[in-house]
């Protein structure tokens, strides 16, 4: 791998870290919203679904970030 490729991977890693942090902030906000809604409401059901989607998204982003880290560690 040429140095430019490693640099590009490092840039992607920075971006992946930024995306994970951003979605984690959204999760925290969404959790606060869910916590403030009445237990038996349609709005809460929708908010919980969105929270689940955000948590799934952050897991996918973390996996992608880990893959980039692995490539960098292996020098791929």
- Sketch the domain layout of the chain as residue ranges: 3-74
The Cα–Cα gap between 6 and 36 comes to 45
CB 69 within 8 A of CB 7: no
Rg of the chain on CA atoms, in Å: 17
Low-confidence ranges of the chain (pLDDT < 50): 1-2
Q: What is the pLDDT of residue 1?
A: 46
**Is 65 in contact with 17 (CB distance < 8 Å)?**
yes
Note the pLDDT of residue 75. 83
pLDDT of residue 76: 59
- What pTM, to 2 d.p., does this model score? 0.87
How far, in Å, CA of 46 to CA of 58, rounded?
Answer: 19
* DSSP annotation of 68: H
């Amino acid at each position: 791998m040429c140095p430019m490729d490693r640099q590009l991977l490092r840039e992607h890693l920075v971006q992946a870290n930024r995306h994970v942090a951003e979605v984690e902030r959204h999760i925290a906000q969404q959790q606060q919203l869910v916590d403030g809604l009445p237990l038996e409401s349609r709005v809460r059901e929708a908010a919980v679904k969105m929270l689940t989607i955000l948590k799934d998204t952050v897991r996918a982003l973390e996996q992608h970030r880990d893959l980039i880290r692995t490539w960098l560690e292996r020098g791929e």
